[in-house]
Amino acid sequence: MNTLKIALQKSGRLSEKSLGILSECGIKLPDFKSKLKNTATNFPLEILFLRDDDIPKYVENGIVDIGIIGENEVLEQKRKVSVIRRLGFANCRLSLAVPKEAQYTGIQFFSQKKIATSYPNIVSDFLKKKQIEAQVVEISGSVEIAPSIGLADAVADLVSSGSTLLHNGLTEVEEILQSEAVMISNNTLQPEVAEILDALLFRIQAVLNSRENKYILLNAPNSAIKSITELLPGMKSPTILPLADSGWSSIHSVVKENEFWQIIDQLKKLGAEGILVIPIEKMVF
């Protein structure tokens, strides 16, 4: 029987999120603690737990078929792999930061400076694009300490909240790129394996759709139905059910979560009452 092989980060937040989305896809795994390889019990999927910087290489060489990794790692390594799905978690940015006492006046600040980073290729490409000549110093781990020990004048590092930079006396001044978790694939998948991948991607998309949308129920006077349905088009069209009270209906629809608060006041002005917003577990178009 053919099996789809996937590489995941063996520990950390990205690993937890990756296993979480597989679980939401209905894929069951035996106890994986202390294991570097595992096999799903109800889906043809085998998982290898690797260091994050090894995943692109394993995918490129066909040791595994796909992997979940930060986009920043894919861009840094420049391996011959394809990004096949953006996953919407593990969001961060790669930014340039300088000591807080530095007099930063713009990108030219970095001219002839030393910049410490774990992402020398991305940083070098960025500086070249900006026509800045600087020395990129590659280090792994504890990048933030480089200026305080005299190793570099500035750093380029991944930032989520920015608290780590602040704790090390650094100020974020330039964003190089935005990153999130992505699924990558090698470019030589066998047709049978590609079919399994399509089935997995279908499940993942249903999960991602559910995260972006909410199910909304509300009561409204019949005179407002046309205006409300224009605000809440749903997947195709809203469901409208008459209430026991004459002249009123219940409207059921789907709304994007990031749009709900923008339209809630309009719904209320149109006479909507008893508005309920409910999470969606899976959503298939």
Quick: pLDDT tens for 72-98.
Answer: 999 999 999 999 999 999 999 999 999
Closest CA to 216 of 203, 206, 229: 229
Strand order in the sheet with 213-221: 239-242, 248-256, 213-221, 273-279
DSSP category for residue 93: E
Cα maximum dimension of the chain: 77
User: Which phi-psi region, left, alpha or beta, contains residue 275 (left: φ > 0; alpha: ψ -120 to 50)?
Assistant: beta
Confidence grade of residue 262 (pLDDT, cut at 50, 70, 90) = confident
Closest CA to 153 of 105, 121, 116: 116
- Fold for the domain defined by 92-179: D-Maltodextrin-Binding Protein; domain 2 (3.40.190)
Stretch 256-270: mean pLDDT: 87
Q: Which homologous superfamily does the CATH classification assign to the domain defined by 4-89+181-189?
A: Periplasmic binding protein-like II (3.40.190.10)
CATH class assigned to 213-279: alpha beta
Domain boundaries along the sequence of the chain: 4-89+181-189, 92-179, 213-279
Say if 4-89+181-189 and 92-179 have the same CATH topology: yes
pTM to 2 decimals? 0.85
Q: Does the pLDDT of residue 236 top 80, yes or no?
A: no
